[in-house]
A and B are shown apart, each in its own frame.
Chain A
Amino acid sequence: KQEVTQIPAALSVPEGENLVLNCSFTDSAIYNLQWFRQDPGKGLTSLLLIQSSQREQTSGRLNASLDKSSGRSTLYIAASQPGDSATYLCVLTKREAGNMLTFGGGTRLMVKP
């Protein structure tokens, strides 16, 4: 059974810092990996999607990497802003078509002005 672990569980940083969120998983037979953002009372927003054949994806101040062999992914946030405060979820899709997503426990990020 796939297990997804996110470290740290919570993080508080001052505005402007660069930061790294970590995700590890036990089963490397994945189809893709996604990073989602979750805001209180709102749905999940997909930030970046990395196919299993890819190593990284970038969008604006966000960069996500994937290393299947070591079972790890990182989400890098550059020049953090208070608006980045949210819970970040690492999510895996299995190789089998149509199967469910497996979520990590999330990292709760607080960026202080």
Chain B
Amino acid sequence: GAGVSQTPSNKVTEKGKYVELRCDPISGHTALYWYRQSLGQGPEFLIYFQGTGAADDSGLPNDRFFAVRPEGSVSTLKIQRTERGDSAVYLCASSPDPTGTERTYTFGSGTRLTVV
């Protein structure tokens, strides 16, 4: 596609429920990143994929969070037993070549998750 697509744009869920957030990167971009942005703060790193594998998942806050990218394109961020503190905007970004000179990144519009 022309840009990074994230769905849904908004998600309201009850505490304790399971949610999935989807990211569709730019076609051909090998690197995919998930970030979380709380109100009034800058985005914080969650996980980075190079192809199908998670190259760095050091930002995942706990084992309730998990992400996959089975075919090296679309990625799904999964959150189990959601808590009110998980409420944030979840941003996805993709990059054509994270080892290259430019290292440009394209961000999606984000999914605003609200846990009530």
Contact = CB atoms under 8 A, between A and B. Distances in A.
B62 interface: no
A93 to B, nearest CB: 6
Interface of A: 4, 6, 31-32, 34, 36, 41-46, 49, 51, 89, 93, 97-106
Contacts, number: 65
A44 B4 CA distance: 11
Given A43-B108, A97-B98, A4 B48 contact: no
15 contacts: A43-B109, A45-B107, A46-B104, A51-B101, A89-B42, A97-B99, A99-B48, A100-B33, A100-B48, A101-B35, A101-B45, A103-B35, A103-B44, A105-B41, A106-B42
A46 B95 CA distance: 13
B68 to A, nearest CB: 18
Interface of B: 3-4, 9, 31, 33, 35, 40-45, 48, 50, 55-56, 59, 91, 93, 98-99, 101-110
A36 B104 CA distance: 11
Contact of A49 (B55, B98, B102): B102
Nearest to A106: B42
A104 B42 CA distance: 6
A31 to B, nearest CB: 7
B34 to A, nearest CB: 10
A83 to B, nearest CB: 19
Contacts of A104: 42
